[in-house]
Chain A
Amino acid sequence: MPVTREGFEPLIVAFCCNWCSYAGADLAGTSRQPYPSNVRVIRVPCSGRVNPSFIIRAFQRGADGVLVAGCHPGDCHYHSGNYHARRRFTILKQLLEYLGIEPERFQVRWISGSEGAKFSAVMNELTENVRKLGQNRKLRDAR
């Protein structure tokens, strides 16, 4: 956990699809729209590539919040990857909440390549929400 003088700084892992959300992050950068440095972006070919194991592993290894971001429904570069992702993460999100994991910690968003502002807003919102929750202890591996 990175701790600054101001206190707790959350670590956010964002799985971004190569074709939309990662491009959205690029656009946020080139349009100088700031988002917190707490976010670590991991580029994946498609939101449908994201295995639930990746999310749990991120939490285990120190993430306080995890985001999966992909193309809007209908825009998938591979036609249907995000539709599969939508079903998968709808269910996973409910399961994590049912097991007592705060729902704010795991988020899924559709962010297109033209939505630099949205990328920045989502990252800000997620970081703030997780900051309020504090450190993820429930899914964090002791080792």
Chain B
Amino acid sequence: MKKIAKTKLQELWRCLSAEGALYLPVRSDSVVDFALWQEDVPADLETLNTFLPPKKFYYPQTETVLKYEFGENLQLLDASSQAGEKTILFGVRPCDTAALSLMDKVYLSEPVDEAYRRRRENTVIIALGCREPEETCFCQTFDIDPGKAPGADLLAIDTGTELVVTAQSLKGEELLVALNGVLQEATSGDEIRVKDVQEQAGEGYLTRVSVHGLAEKLDTCFASPYWDRLYRRCIACGTCTYLCPTCHCFDLQEYAAGHSGERVRCWDACMFTDFTQMAGGHNPRPTQKERVRQRFMHKLNYFPRQHGGEYACVGCGRCVRQCPVNLDILEVIREMGGAVDGQ
């Protein structure tokens, strides 16, 4: 266990950026998002949810998977082999860290997505524990401890004036060694303070919902009239899916021009009208009702059914705060079975 005074974070980041491309939450205009560290741009370690979740580092919104060129022979270039610059993410919150392990279930199971795997291997995650949940946080619903981040390589806890850093993986330990110059040894007092912060973090929840037995209950709800009411408010934008740390649907697009071209993988969203549109014009999800149902059933029924009972939601609250029409997963969990206390 090591520590550093919060006033000396610039030094820490300078060292980290020597180890790899360092990204941390930065405010640009009104939006806080992960951005490449720059000496003179202050980091924002107070905001809990960044605009986009860190999934964009493993699974970019746009990614070239193949390039080709017709010369004398057809030349193929597997662009995924280029992925994998060493990257360090600083300040990833526990919910977003947990979301990555859900994403792993999709992209690291057979057939393994090579570019994803390579990026995952080449990235070090330094998680930052939360001190106090926001009103829209409900990660506890999914057994995520806001003071811990088991999937991260390093965990940093803000004890007030210092950050106390613990290695949680081999990669993390290696990085700690490299940072020896700027970090101090933590004391047993620090250890107690960390425990206090972690315990306190779990106490401030305003939103408590339960998903106990929800997946099983939804087995029989596909044809429920509930969806007829729910979907009407949806304006079919992609805010919820693009901002969701666990949404992972994509579309493959061909960009062809003259004698060369590329195949690109782009984020796509089940909320869009053209998501399931077939070439002949048929759409198996013809109205927004089917699309809204798909999103929530995927998160709360299909995913747990396929992946050992784990829900594809981490309770980060992005969709709750950002949905233009306040149609969010909390509402569905509550109305379809889970109980809400508090608000």
Contact = CB atoms under 8 A, between A and B. Distances in A.
Interface string A132-143: 000000000001
A64 B255 CA distance: 21
Contacts of B319: none
A26 B198 CA distance: 79
Interface string B252-266: 000101000010100
Contacts of A143: 255, 257, 262, 264
Contacts of B262: 143
Interface residues of A, number: 1
Interface in A88-143: 143
A21 B91 CA distance: 60
A92 B243 CA distance: 32
Contacts of B264: 143
Contacts of B255: 143
Nearest to B253: A143
A143 B62 CA distance: 12
A74 to B, nearest CB: 41
Interface in B224-270: 255, 257, 262, 264
B266 to A, nearest CB: 11
A143 B66 CA distance: 13
B63 to A, nearest CB: 12
A143 B264 CA distance: 10
B285 to A, nearest CB: 28
A66 B294 CA distance: 44
A143 B254 CA distance: 10
Nearest to A143: B255
A143 B262 CA distance: 8
Q: Give the residue among B257, B262, B264 with the most A Cβ atoms within 10 A.
A: B257
A35 B257 CA distance: 28
A143 B63 CA distance: 12
Contacts of B257: 143
A43 B181 CA distance: 69
A141 B128 CA distance: 38
A143 B260 CA distance: 10
B255 to A, nearest CB: 4
A97 B285 CA distance: 42
Nearest to A141: B255
B79 to A, nearest CB: 12
A50 to B, nearest CB: 23
B146 to A, nearest CB: 40
A143 B255 CA distance: 7
4 contacts: A143-B255, A143-B257, A143-B262, A143-B264
Interface of B: 255, 257, 262, 264
Listed from nearest, the 4 A-B pairs whose CB atoms lie closest are A143-B255, A143-B262, A143-B264, A143-B257
